[in-house]
Amino acid sequence: MRPVILTSAYLPPVEYFTKLYGAPYVILDCHDHYVKQTYRNRCLIAGPDGQLALTLPIVHEGKGKMPTRDIRLSNHGDWRHLHWNALKSCYENSPFFEYMADDFLAIYRQDFTYLVDFNAALQELICHWLGLTPDIRTASHYIDASTVEADDFRETIRPKTGYEADQSFTPAPYYQVFQQQNGFIPNLSIVDLLFNMGPEARLVLKQSIKE
């Protein structure tokens, strides 16, 4: 796998974390234009009725295109409480949720101003629980993909694109709480893999990388 370019993402899918696991290094570009309906502020988890989307509300500045790094979280709708309750409801019966819950709850209780800071805190915690120490190089400006030797996933890892477009990723199946009702749902948020598989999540990430 080559180096990759990623943007900030909220509890991103397994596909995103295979890049953190397998790439020699990651260029994190938060100077890209913020795009709606992407993993920047949305994650997909599994509930008893199937796939469930959790979306972080943002402050709309009315300034046209803005860099992702400048996007502020809105306090509208008590989303911190709602998102945490959704995670707890969906995963409290998973094998490893109770061991990690307090760490995640502590982040949801913090009052982050910027989307990228909230996403980064969650990513750091998830990497801790996965035992990952990715080489993440934070960009100081927008990265033109044609000027670097790296694969650009800023706009390809997104809900509407689908993981099938990524030739370096194939979702390895693993145990899911509601699999009997829904069947296996691939490429959900990394927390689905983490809460269900715990330490074995690393093996699933490795198996999901297509050489």
Whether 161 has a pLDDT exceeding 90, the answer reads: no
Distance CA 205, CA 188 (A): 12
**3 state DSSP class of 6:** strand
d(CA 191, CA 104): 10
> Which run of H or E residues covers position 95?
none
What are 167-210's pLDDT values in tens digits?
999 999 999 999 999 999 999 999 999 999 999 999 999 999 98
Report yes or no: 150 and 3 within 8 Å, Cβ to Cβ. yes
Banded pLDDT at 76 (limits 50, 70, 90)? confident
Does the pLDDT at position 163 exceed 80?
yes
CA distances from residue 42 to 10, 60, 117 in whole angstroms, order as listed: 6, 16, 15
What values do phi and psi take at 47, rounded to 5?
A: -115, 180
Domain extents in the chain: 4-207
Count CA atoms closer than 13 A to 73's CA, side-chain side.
22
Is the pTM above the cut of 0.85? yes
CA dihedral 74, 158, 67, 26 (to 10 degrees): 120
pLDDT value, residue 102: 97
From CA 197, how far away is CA 172, in angstroms rounded?
12
Phi-psi region of 3 (alpha: psi -120 to 50; beta: other; left: phi over 0): beta
What backbone phi and psi angles, to 5 degrees, belong to 7? Answer: -115, 175
Mean pLDDT of the chain: 94
Q: Residue 30 carries which DSSP code?
A: -
pLDDT (0 to 100) of residue 131: 95
